[in-house]
Amino acid sequence: MAETDVRNVGLSGKKRAGSDDIDCDDYMSSKKALVTMPPSWEDPAAVLANSRHEFGEHGGVNMSIEASATFTVMEPETMRRMFSGELGPDRDFFIYSRHFNPTVLNLGRQMAALEGTEAAYCMSSGMAAISSVLLQLVSSGGHVVASRSLYGGTHALLTHFFPRACNITTTFVDLGDLEMVKAAMVEGRTKVLYFESISNPTLAVANVPELCRVAHDKGVMVVVDNTFAPMVLSPARLGADVVVHSISKFISGGADIIAGAVCGPASLVNSMMDLHQGALMLLGPTMNAKVAFELSERIPHLGLRMKEHCHRALTYATRMKKMGLKVIYPGLHDHPDHSLLKTLANKDYGYGGLLCLDMETEDKANRLMNQLQNFTQFGFMAVSLGYHETLMSCSGSSTSSEMNAEEKALAGISPGLVRMSIGYSGTLEQRWGQFEKALARIQDSGVFPKN
């Protein structure tokens, strides 16, 4: 099974001349020129609407689900030509669904349109996307520079698993200190600068254009996790080389699917599917076609959902601040990255659907969450985000528990930091009343002082 070109299947209408192998020097030269120009704005919803639409086998407005694991051919010679790479999915020839599947490829087209990239490939989880793309770009002995503030699973991958299993090391930096970022890059060894567009859980906003400029000047590729900000930010349009997602979160929206995606150049996606060297092909984090179909039906209304998530998050954050709570939300004017996010964000989508409350101690955080779930039904104590109900967790003892105390302190994660993914079920005022009632109960108990 040879490498197959996805130029016509990753995203319709976009082609890239030349070899499928990534030439980092040539690629970096083009990216340097790109990020010096102000990014032109395209509404992600408009781009999605203009992307290719697949109809069902019998003319259905929804595409058919291609649930086959393997595919037949009509002539014996065809199979040889498929395995040699002469015939592939760009011409509607399929071999095996670990390689390419029509339904999964359709979702990839949608993800590429969403992020404004040449191609995309969808897989079984967000961590599969992150680990696969890093393993494709960084070889044994290589080096990664990454943000100090990352999802705990990603931090553990870079801190523990990669050095032990792959001889890949990582230097963690403060993204706000561009000189530190630059100094951490080792010529000839550093292959990737990795960060989150809006950090988990501290909600710091990355200066994507400036970080890309620094990285590309050093010949380093930029990989951005945009899980917290689909539609809100478009890192590829701001200069990033690769965008990864945990589709399980906002894009799915139902807290019922685990999935991930890599969005980037067709040359990268092709290389990841290579028979001999492809991380996706050989590690096999395959997405089920039925899952891809489910997700493809949700993406068209992602923009509407994101706008409501963001609207409610801003409303609640503003009211919480007026109540004297220590609230962290980049939509607030006093957030250190508010002006930056206003500059980088896509118009009309808001500032993100998550906010954080710093309750200072884990005990206070737990008492608040207990009241919010078990007495007023404001939300659920659960990890993850992007669900239609509000989800909340104490990050230091949950999704960032892989980090030690020093690492949490460097990342700015307080022991009492409550991360809230703000839902849109119920009315806004109904949910706000539930929050006020819960806060009043813990204030009456003396745990948290009244204004």
- What are the residue ranges spanned by the domains of the chain? 46-66+101-297, 301-445
What is the per-residue pLDDT for 60?
85
- At the topology level, CATH places domain 301-445 in Aspartate Aminotransferase, domain 1 (3.90.1150)
pLDDT on residue 397 = 66
CATH topology of domain 46-66+101-297: Aspartate Aminotransferase; domain 2 (3.40.640)
Low-confidence ranges of the chain (pLDDT < 70): 1-41, 396-402, 411, 446-451
| Tens digits of residue pLDDT in 65-107 | 999 999 999 999 999 998 888 998 888 899 989 989 999 999 9
Q: Which residues contact 227 (CB under 8 A, 6 or more apart)?
A: 126, 151, 196, 200, 244, 245, 246, 249, 250
Q: CB atoms < 10 A from the CB of 354, how many?
A: 27
Per-residue pLDDT at 41: 56
Q: Comparing C-alpha atoms, which of 385, 440, 367 is closest to residue 227?
A: 385
- pLDDT of 51 reads 86
Contact 220, 193 (CB under 8 A): yes
Q: Same CATH fold, 301-445 and 46-66+101-297?
A: no
